[in-house]
Amino acid sequence: MIRFLTAGESHGPALVGIIEGIPSNLPLTAEDINIHLSRRMKGYGRGGRMKIEKDQIEILSGVRFSKTFGAPITFMIRNKDWENWGERMKIEGDGAGIGKISIPRPGHADLIGYLKYRFDDIRPVIDRSSARETATRVAMGSVSRHFLKACGIEIGSHIVALEKIGYPDLEAPSEILEHLVAQGGEALWKKADESEVRCLDKSLEVKMMARIDEAKEAGDTLGGIFEIIVTGLPEGLGSYVQYDRKLDAQLAAAIVSIPAVKGVEIGYGFANAQRPGSKVHDPIILKDGKFSRSTNRAGGTEGSMTTGMPLIIRGAMKPIPTLIDALPSVDLKTMEPIKARVERSDVCALPAASVVGESVVATVIANALLEKFGGDSLEEILERLPKR
Residues 230-253 have pLDDT tens digits of: 999 999 999 999 999 999 999 999
CATH 3.40.220.10 is right for the domain spanning 3-384? no
Q: How much is the pLDDT for 50?
A: 62
- Distance between CA atoms of residues 189 and 312, nearest Å: 14
**Residue 308 pLDDT more than 80?**
yes
Q: How much is the pLDDT for 341?
A: 87
- Residue 348, classed as helix, strand or coil, is coil
Residues contacting residue 4 through CB under 8 Å, at least 6 positions apart: 17, 18, 19, 20, 137, 140, 363
pLDDT tens figures, 41-81 = 999 988 766 666 789 999 999 999 999 999 999 999 999 98
Q: Domain locations in the chain? A: 3-384
**Residue 14 pLDDT more than 80?**
yes
Which of residues 98 and 378 earns the better pLDDT score? 378
Q: How much is the pLDDT for 351?
A: 96
- Distance between CA atoms of residues 376 and 20, nearest Å: 12
pLDDT tens figures, 141-165 = 999 999 999 999 999 999 999 999 9
- Distance between CA atoms of residues 382 and 388, nearest Å: 12
Amino acid of residue 241? V
User: What is each CA distance from 17 to 85, 87, 201, 308, 320, in whole angstroms?
Assistant: 21, 24, 36, 32, 25
* pTM of structure: 0.94
